[in-house]
Amino acid sequence: MVSTPVTGAVNSGRQYLPGSITEAASPNQYLLPLTARLNPQDHLEIGGCDVPALVHRFGSPLYILDEVTLRTACRHYRQAFQCYYPGDALVIYASKAWNCLAVCAIVAAEGLGIDVVSGGELYTALQAGVAPDTIYFHGNNKSVEELQLAIDAGCSIVVDNWLELKTLTQLCSGGQEQPTKIPILLRLTPGIECHTHEYIRTGHLDSKFGFDPDQLDAVFAFVRQQPSLECIGLHAHIGSQIFELQPHHDLAGVMVQWMSKAAQYGLPVRELDIGGGLGIRYTESDDPPSIDEWVRVVCQGIVQACERQNLPLPRLIAEPGRSLIGSACVTAYTIGSQKVIPGVRTYVTVDGGMSDNPRPITYQSVYRAVVANRMSAEATETVAIAGKHCESGDIVIKQTTLPPTQPGDTLVVLATGAYNYSMASNYNRLARPAAVLVNAGEANIILQRETYQDLIQHDRLPQRLHPTL
């Protein structure tokens, strides 16, 4: 692999950026996108595009999505399932990580399906041209309107609770023309815990998601009696940003047991959706398994469990989100003011913050950053990266080491593809940033920067409050 050294930028010491793609490179294990390199101007370049030049052209904050990294991650998943699973398999992108037309179109072009959790995500996927039979609709409180949209579209519905089951049966008996049978999967809570933030653990019993194991018999019996529902599969998910492999192997065994029980009720379960959750590298100390390792463990778990139960292999579905998109994107900011508190801390302020990346204030997430216009400069200062919002907790990075910075420098925060734009807000009435897709030296806008006019387009002023003209 051809590499270009970067001194004092990403690691203390030397960090080597990948200059070319190799089959061994698992994108979730890199701090930077796979195409990142230094150019002769000592600037960070991604997708063949000079990052400071992108900021000059498109403004900041700016999400920069590397198409090569995203497509490579998709292919790693697909190829790993082809290698390790002797049955049928489908990888579906958990689009809550970042749902927009361009991202949905790219992953669909790579042969992946889409996991959606709202009517808006479903509508976006359909508008991007995603085949409805590869869309799976999740969520623990789907509205009647959302369920009807899913039925009309012809996608599979992952049923989360009793209310949803009963609402579906009512919709089917409402006199409207419906499909012969609505394909559903039942989401079950496996009672498996893993070491991750409590807000992103979903598999343990104390969770808002899914039917509990002691409800299995009642749920299976109810579904068997509904002629309008076809239970094609079971679903479980144990959390996000997971580095452990054993919980995923354990989950496979639990789900195959559930499949065996469903067969006793005559349910045509032929799909097992084991969720996602593979973590990515946010800092040098993070050491996530590769995509290949994760897939191998999952496949082996399902195959071994089916052999023990003497069951045919189901269609195996996985829902990676963060590990597909997280490392493929960075966020570029422009540095502004500084505040030095002697003996305490130095704050370096950027022109964004919690409105474009709410994860630090929400999950205490940790990120790394580089100064993209002086990549080889020695990192000699320990600083906090502060956002511009009127909130003391608006700290993008609590502590990082950077070269001495100046107002106007381009600061790039790494691995911001997952849950950054998708959780972005207009707090303090900041307009949401633009996003560009970069590939082979070309940059295309995929999300237009909002304007002040956009901020008020849905405001309504009662007549009596109109200013006197």
The pLDDT, as a whole number, for residue 24 is 59
For residues 200 and 362, give the distance between their C-alpha atoms in angstroms, rounded to a whole number. Answer: 11
CATH architecture under which domain 138-320 falls: Alpha-Beta Barrel (3.20)
Domain 3-63+330-455 has CATH 2.40.37.10: yes
Name the β-bridge partners of 183.
230
More confident residue, 200 or 179: 179
For residues 231 and 271, give the distance between their C-alpha atoms in angstroms, rounded to a whole number. Answer: 9
Residue of 83, 172, 299, 390 marked catalytic? 390
How would you classify the pairing of strands 329-341 and 315-318? unpaired
Residue 330 burial (10 A CB sphere; 0-12, 13-18, 19+): buried
Helix, strand and coil content of the chain, in percent to the nearest 5, comes to: 30, 25, 45
Using pLDDT thresholds of 50, 70 and 90, give the confidence band for residue 270: very high
Name the β-bridge partners of 395.
386
Q: How many CB atoms lie within 10 A of CB 113?
A: 24
Residue 103 burial (10 A CB sphere; 0-12, 13-18, 19+): buried
Beta strand segments in 210-351, E: 229-235, 271-273, 315-318, 329-341, 345-350
The pLDDT, as a whole number, for residue 179 is 54
Residues of the chain with CATH 3.20.20.10: 138-320
**Catalytic-residue membership of 100:** no
What is the token pair recorded at 69? 């990294």
Q: Which of 11-25, 328-342, 347-361, 417-431 has the lowest mean pLDDT?
A: 11-25
- Closest by alpha carbon to 90, among 271, 269, 307? 271
Backbone φ and ψ for 281, nearest 5 degrees, come out as -90, 110
pTM: predicted TM-score of the whole model, two decimal places: 0.92
pLDDT in tens, 58-93: 999 999 999 999 999 999 999 999 999 999 999 999
Torsion of CA 138, 140, 143, 148, to 10 degrees: 30
List the strands of the sheet with 37-38, edge to edge: 37-38, 44-46, 49-50
- The dihedral built from the CA positions of residue 40, 44, 47 and 50, taken in this order, carries a sign that is negative
Evaluate if residue 313 carries a pLDDT over 50: yes
What mean pLDDT comes out for the span 312-326?
97
Evaluate if residue 347 carries a pLDDT over 50: yes
Residues of the chain with CATH 2.40.37.10: 3-63+330-455
